[in-house]
Amino acid sequence: MVSAVLHAVVIAAINFEPPDLQRFKDNIPALEIVLVNAKTESAPEKADALAQANLDRGGNTDEERRAKSSLPAPRDKPTETKVKPAEELKQTRKKAEVDAEAERQLQRVAELEKQAQALMTQAKSRQVTESEPVKQAEVPQPEKGRNREAVSQTLDRAALASAIADMARLEAQISKQQDEYQKRPKRKFVGARTQEYRFATYVEAWRQKVERVGNLNYPEAAREQKIYGQLRMTVSIKADGSLEKIEINQSSGHQVLDNAARRIVELAAPYSPFPEDIREDTDILSITRTWTFTRQDSLASD
């Protein structure tokens, strides 16, 4: 018992400290291992590095080298794409569509003009080139097979003459259509929502005159029969103020009102001649308006 107590006292007097593992870690050299793609039966006397297999020299040089693999190039950070607001994208897309439509219209006009010019050129060139064989056919042929060739030449001349006549007619028709197009009167069409001041002023004066004449000459049949309604009418006026034509675009459903509207427009004519700023690019002005025969027995336009 006394011996055990003495041993306990001695052990307690001894101070045990745990080992410093970090110190051992810092003092231990790094172990470098090389992976080789070949091996030999004999081990080298002095190894330069550790590997998974014995390799006593290798490669195609006597210099002290090791195969290395280059690191992959660092990837660039993806460029941040600035996202446009939805409204801005919508406006951009709409503008692109409008520009594309305008470009298509211009291309269409250019194509039509090019086709017309090509037809004229083709008609003239064929008339010249196809007339040459006729002259060549008049050259005397050898005696052999003269009759057969004479018949063939006669048929060829007839076919060529017919083709030339057709081309001449086509050329004349194209020229006539072009002349007629150039001579056609220059028209302008305006509705109730006229934006251009020069047309708006003239149309408003015209509307007031028609309404004034219409209320002074309101149809008695419509008043007596209590007929009311609305119609849409296009009135075409020449530059001197005279009427060219009247068209009912949408009937009121009552012949009495449709006829009364025509008669009122005719009674109000002639109208004022076009002012100079309209006359310079307009020969006929077509005005489309909606007219209403109201329950108060009056004529009004929108």
DSSP state of 141: P
- DSSP-assigned beta bridge partners for residue 190: 287
Name the residue among 293, 294, 286 with its Cα closest to residue 233. Answer: 286
Name the residue among 283, 121, 108, 301 with its Cα closest to residue 204. Answer: 301
Q: Say whether pTM exceeds 0.75.
A: no
Query: Quick count: other Cβ atoms within 10 Å of Cβ 287?
Result: 23
Place of tokens 């041993």: 7
Give pLDDT tens digits for 25-38.
Answer: 556 566 566 666 66
Higher pLDDT, 19 or 160: 160
188-301: which CATH architecture? 2-Layer Sandwich (3.30)
Query: Would the pLDDT of 178 be above 70?
Result: no
Query: Would the pLDDT of 100 be above 90?
Result: no
Higher pLDDT, 278 or 99: 278
Specify the pLDDT at position 198.
83
* Phi and psi angles of residue 84, each rounded to the nearest 5 degrees, phi first: -75, 150
Name the residue among 29, 32, 28 with its Cα closest to residue 66. Answer: 32
* Phi and psi angles of residue 108, each rounded to the nearest 5 degrees, phi first: -65, -45
How many degrees, rounded to 5, is the angle at CA 250 between CA 189 and CA 210?
60
Specify the pLDDT at position 292.
97
